[in-house]
Structure 1
Amino acid sequence: MSALSIEMIEGGVLSPEIKSSTPSRNTKLSNGIHGDDADRYGLKMNVRSLMEKWGHLMVYCMIFTVGFIAGPILFRLYFLHGGSRKWLSSALQSAGFPILLLPLGILYVKRDRAVPQADFFASPKLLISSILVGVLQGGSSFMYSYGLSFLPVSTSSILISTQLIFTALFGLILVRQKFSLFSINAVVLMTLGSVLLGVGQNGDSPEGVTSLQYLLGFVLSIGSAALGGFILPCIEVAYAKANKVITLPIMLQYQFFMAFSATIFSIIGMIVNKDFAAIPREASEFGLGKTEYYLVLVSSAVVLQIAYIGMLGIIFCATSLLAGVVSAASLPLTEIAAVIVFHEKFTGVKGMALAMGVWGFISYFYGSYKEHKKQTEEDNTKTSSKPIHHCSTVVDKIIG
């Protein structure tokens, strides 16, 4: 870098440290960079930042998908082989929160010392919001566990995918979520798929489950999806009103306190239902063995906590609606896993509902691609309309 210290050029806007001494667009800077070249450098940094954001988003989508698939399989395994404690399985969906202390500790030790320590920690307002959302999450987890105890994994997963519908609805109300024809198409397709599933599941009840229990499981699964659909926009609102930049450490702190609150909610239910006293007996009678019983419980807690991190990351990088779309898009893999592991029936009705879900997912992402492409073309047009100065060598040197 030359004598002129440029510490940050982001989106074509120079940092406050040098803004006052910035020459006009048609003059030449002391280091040989014209004002337009600085704009081009800012655009290049924007592109690089955008690529990093998409990379992070893909990672969050992957870990959310893995957790979304493995979680129902592990919980259904628990219920099929003798597990019956609904409050326990509800608590497991958030009880893995202590593992978040490891990445938080590493991030704290390796933080930039030049950044104020207060910027590392979430504000009290944001933490209070996470605790309140955690209570809602605890209620959603209980309804999900109760519903899954009476339903096949494949059916439960398709019902839970209706969360996208509620996310879209509450997103429109709470965060003024913008809808394109593609996102509307995705919501409509997944809604129709769920309705089709609901009216065409004769004979789908697992062995030993009565029609009344099946109906109760169906209703509770829809209720869990509705509450989950309300929670996602609430988190997005909390991020927007935080009055500070939402960093990875702050996101992990939000998840920590949200999961802690949800776990306390479920533990209270366990105490009332006397689940703690029943765990040793249930472990000794578990169909796969005592060791496997505890292994299933621990694995469930860890897998679901990882899934929640992915969910918050998707909201952080994109929107709550996308988090709902990714959960619905994970449905095909969950269906395949359930058929392979539990030999569940895969009927034509499920196939049609699945096809609608995949179609809706593709529609949403194609719409996002078109919107991103249009925005990129507009940015390029604005840049190309400016005078071009041949200082690429100096700019490349700075970028390098």
Structure 2
Amino acid sequence: MEIESQVNNHDHEELNRQKTVEKLFLKRMILLLNCFLLSIGNTGGPLLLRLYFIRGGKRVWLSCWLESGGWPVMLIPLLGSYIYRVRKSKEKAKLFFLTPFLFLAGAVLGVLTGVDDWLYAYGVSKLPVSTFSLITSTHLAFTAGFAFLIVKQKFTSYTINTIVLLTVAAVVLGVHSSSDRPNGISNMEYFTGFFMTLGASALYGFVLPMVELTYKKSKTKISYTLVIEMQMVMSLFATAFCTIGMLANKDFQAIPREAKTYELGEAKYYTVLVFNAIVWQFFFLGAVGVIFSASSLLSGIMIAVLLPITETLAVLFYHEKFSSEKGIALALSLWAFVSYFYGEYKHTKEFKQTIDPQTNITKESSQP
């Protein structure tokens, strides 16, 4: 009987360890999915927005509305999740998981995102590529600072190395940025765009840790479905904010006129608008998904890593100059990316080795 009991305990421990490893694997898969969505949105969004402006688009409020106006796309994964829950439970499933606290927090963060969208769109319309990317890269420093203050983010040697490399990449990218200065932009417009973009970087660096804090302060279990619902609410209120600006600026009446004079043609004008709205939702969903799966700091790192890649794509699609500074910045960003994920790999490996199979917690934390 004693031998049989030991065998059963061993099987139980092995089962618990296997379940813990499976949860870690699922979380990593969700993280990779959101990194992929963030990559599409963070590279495709600015390129499409830039395409709108360089081919004749001039409406800043319209362009910032596009950054959040595709929120109905979120209904597709939410519907899929609901159908899955109904089939799995064979009972009436809960339609939404948002609590009043999360809805209110999503509304406030959504308005802040709307303000950030406007600042960002104004910067895109006025600044050269290199300068804009340099300033946008500073959001990583803002994210790291706010993450430390708001959610008590811990920094490892790999994280610090990543931040340093990306900061150096941003500085390198800004060298000789004046040579890319757009024609027809006055000094006042140039410097206004500069400070608007800096404000956008600081504001979004604040929003990311606030999303993470909201998850932590919520008294409900945070699932990936709930993350999508939260992002939909944020995008909805950001769209409402931008809609007010469009109404005040009479952008809705100007859309048909602008479409007729667009360099690529009227049909492609509306195509650019639609794809702008969809791709930007990939960015926002990926950003909050990375926060859910990892941290707001990693979300900021991913955005910073992808900026030189966006510059490389701009060279391919818009025939912009690929300077040596851009090449060095790209190499440093990829180095930073590998450095961060190598640190995460080592941390995960060490964590698996310290799991107590009986309690599913680390052995260190179970010690008095």
Fold conserved (TM > 0.5)? yes
**Residue 81 of structure 1 pairs with residue 55 of structure 2:** yes
- Alignment size in residue pairs: 357
**Residue 346 of structure 1 pairs with residue 322 of structure 2:** yes
Deviations 1:171-200 (A, max 9, x none): 101100110111112112222332344453
Deviations 1:230-268 (A, max 9, x none): 111111111111111111221111011100000011111
Identity %: 41
Residues 245 and 28 of structure 1: is their aligned pair in 2 closer, same or farther, counting only changes over 3 Å?
farther
Counterparts of 1:119 and 1:241, CA distance in 2: 22
CA contact (8 A) 1:90 1:141 kept: yes
For 2:207, which of 231, 234, 241 is the aligned residue? 231
For 1:137, which of 108, 113, 121 is the aligned residue? 113
Corresponding residue number in structure 1 for 2:242: 266
Counterparts of 1:153 and 1:95, CA distance in 2: 24
Corresponding residue number in structure 2 for 1:37: 11
Counterparts of 2:285 and 2:301, CA distance in 1: 16
Deviations 1:123-156 (A, max 9, x none): 1100110010001101111111000112244543
Deviations 1:92-119 (A, max 9, x none): 0000001212221232233143788559
For 1:297, which of 270, 273, 281 is the aligned residue? 273
More divergent stretch after superposition (38-47 vs 199-208): 199-208
Determine helix, strand or coil for the equivalent of 1:287.
coil
- Identify unmatched segments of 5+ residues in structure 2: 360-368
Amino acid in structure 2 at the alignment position of 1:42: N
Amino acid in structure 2 at the alignment position of 1:210: S
Residues 114 and 171 of structure 1: is their aligned pair in 2 closer, same or farther, counting only changes over 3 Å?
farther
Offset at 1:28? Answer: 4.3
Counterparts of 1:239 and 1:115, CA distance in 2: 28
More divergent stretch after superposition (291-300 vs 200-209): 200-209
More divergent stretch after superposition (194-203 vs 312-321): 194-203
More divergent stretch after superposition (64-73 vs 216-225): 216-225
Larger radius of gyration: 1
Residues 119 and 176 of structure 1: is their aligned pair in 2 closer, same or farther, counting only changes over 3 Å?
farther
**Residue 173 of structure 1 pairs with residue 149 of structure 2:** yes
Counterparts of 1:126 and 1:159, CA distance in 2: 31
CA contact (8 A) 2:34 2:285 kept: yes
- Identify unmatched segments of 5+ residues in structure 1: 1-22, 384-400
Corresponding residue number in structure 1 for 2:20: 46
Counterparts of 1:196 and 1:220, CA distance in 2: 21
Amino acid in structure 2 at the alignment position of 1:312: V
CA contact (8 A) 1:76 1:153 kept: no
What CA RMSD, in Å, does the superposition of the two structures yield over aligned residues?
Answer: 2.4
Corresponding residue number in structure 1 for 2:103: 127
Corresponding residue number in structure 2 for 1:18: none
Offset at 1:89? Answer: 0.4
Counterparts of 2:358 and 2:16, CA distance in 1: 13
**Residue 70 of structure 1 pairs with residue 44 of structure 2:** yes
Determine helix, strand or coil for the equivalent of 1:177.
coil
Determine helix, strand or coil for the equivalent of 1:107.
helix
Please give the TM-score of this superposition, normalised by the length of structure 2: 0.90
Determine helix, strand or coil for the equivalent of 1:346.
coil
More divergent stretch after superposition (225-234 vs 97-106): 97-106
Counterparts of 2:176 and 2:130, CA distance in 1: 14
Amino acid in structure 1 at the alignment position of 2:196: L
Counterparts of 1:35 and 1:119, CA distance in 2: 40
CA contact (8 A) 2:50 2:124 kept: yes
Determine helix, strand or coil for the equivalent of 1:330.
helix
Determine helix, strand or coil for the equivalent of 1:202.
helix
For 2:78, which of 93, 104, 109 is the aligned residue? 104
Corresponding residue number in structure 1 for 2:282: 306
More divergent stretch after superposition (109-118 vs 76-85): 109-118
Counterparts of 2:36 and 2:324, CA distance in 1: 28
CA contact (8 A) 1:167 1:321 kept: yes
- Structure with the bigger percentage of helix: 2
Counterparts of 2:340 and 2:124, CA distance in 1: 28
Counterparts of 2:322 and 2:202, CA distance in 1: 25
CA contact (8 A) 1:73 1:153 kept: no
Offset at 1:286? Answer: 0.7
For 2:298, which of 322, 336, 339 is the aligned residue? 322
Counterparts of 2:320 and 2:212, CA distance in 1: 36
Corresponding residue number in structure 2 for 1:361: 337
Amino acid in structure 1 at the alignment position of 2:300: G
More divergent stretch after superposition (81-90 vs 51-60): 51-60
Amino acid in structure 2 at the alignment position of 1:171: A
Offset at 1:65? Answer: 0.1
Counterparts of 2:355 and 2:97, CA distance in 1: 35
Determine helix, strand or coil for the equivalent of 2:89.
coil
More divergent stretch after superposition (192-201 vs 166-175): 192-201
Residues 271 and 339 of structure 1: is their aligned pair in 2 closer, same or farther, counting only changes over 3 Å?
same
More divergent stretch after superposition (274-283 vs 171-180): 274-283
